[in-house]
Amino acid sequence: MQPTRLSILGVGLLGGSIGLAVKAARIPCRVVGYGHRKETLDRALEIGAIDESATSSKAAVKGADLIILCTPVGLFEQLLAEIAGEIPDRAIVTDVGSTKRSVVKLGEQLVPKSAHFIGSHPMAGSEKRGVEFARADLFQGARCILTPTQRSPNEIVAHVEWFWQKLGMTTTRMSPAEHDRLVCDISHLPHAVAAALISMQPDAALPLAGKGFLDTTRIAGGDGTLWRDILSDNADNLADSIKRFRGQLDEVLKLLAPDKRDELAKWLNQSAARRAKLLAEKLRELDT
């Protein structure tokens, strides 16, 4: 069930953390890393995130039984086209991309029938980038969504689940479309909202920012080009989420009327209670 040779394509925060987490979980497999910058690969070797580095993506997947795409989503097409002819028979290819419809479509098109593509989205990360921020415990307590299709044999999906669970995550299965819709609401919309909150501030307000504002906008500190790829790829869902969110703001405007004071308090208390329940559930997940 477990891989003997793991190929990590793109050794940044996520790729590097996968390598470190594999070592920490004592999965006895050889880890080979590929990236376009030699310094990054050297650093990954140095911290023990990978056992060997490859100078091309083709070389990196040679003999691998598990291949994980860890570059930004925008590079997946090129990467899959490069490695397509070199993917060993029966190898499993998966990824860590934040969108799944386009990625799974590409994966199922470009990975040969002799191998398998299963989409994954480990929901862990940081607004920071680069292997220097990689951590063996990055995935502990996080959730990983797998997006199998009719073309995904159940035992292959189970292999991938086993792998992510070994790294400390809880796994969930859903369709690529459901993934993109739900993750849009809980992750892509908040990113756009946080960026909009920063961008609409008058210069005079910024010096008054406290810890609250910094927390609210933390996710918008992430790399803009990487997030552009995610938001563009999920543009139809994001447009829908923004419109529903705008509708919610219109409700808030109504609740600001002097005769709606009780309803405003009720709505604020309901949001606070919903978040408190969510936080309690997340803390329980981390505990177990």
Interacting residues with a copy of itself between 247 and 286 (CB under 8 A): 247-249, 251-253, 256, 258, 261, 264-272, 274-276, 278-279, 281-282
For a copy of itself, the binding residues in 99-128 under the rule CB under 8 A are 123-125
How many residues bind a copy of itself (CB under 8 A)? The answer is: 84
Q: Rule CB under 8 A: is residue 78 a binding residue for a copy of itself?
A: no
Minimum distance from residue 94 beta carbon to a copy of itself (Å): 18
Residues 140-159 that bind a copy of itself (CB under 8 A): 142-143, 145
Q: Report in angstroms how near the CB of residue 44 gets to a copy of itself at its nearest.
A: 24
Contact call for residue 167 and a copy of itself (CB under 8 A): no
Q: Does 192 bind a copy of itself (CB under 8 A)?
A: yes
**Position 228 contacts a copy of itself (CB under 8 A):** yes
Question: Which of 202, 280, 287, 288: binder of a copy of itself (CB under 8 A)?
Answer: 202
User: Which residue, 162 or 245, is less far from a copy of itself as judged by CB?
Assistant: 245
Name residues contacting a copy of itself, limited to 8-27 (CB under 8 A). Answer: none
Would you say 78 or 269 has its CB closer to a copy of itself? 269
DSSP string, the chain: ---SEEEEES-SHHHHHHHHHHHHTT---EEEEE-S-HHHHHHHHHTTS-SEEESSHHHHHTT-SEEEE-S-GGGHHHHHHHHGGGPPTT-EEEE--S--HHHHHHHHHHS-TTSEE-EEEE----S--SGGG--TTTTTT-EEEEE--TTS-HHHHHHHHHHHHHTT-EEEE--HHHHHHHHIIIIIHHHHHHHHHHHT--TTTGGG--HHHHHHTGGGGS-HHHHHHHHHHTHHHHHHHHHHHHHHHHHHHHHTSGGGHHHHHHHHHHHHHHHHHHHHHHHHHHH-
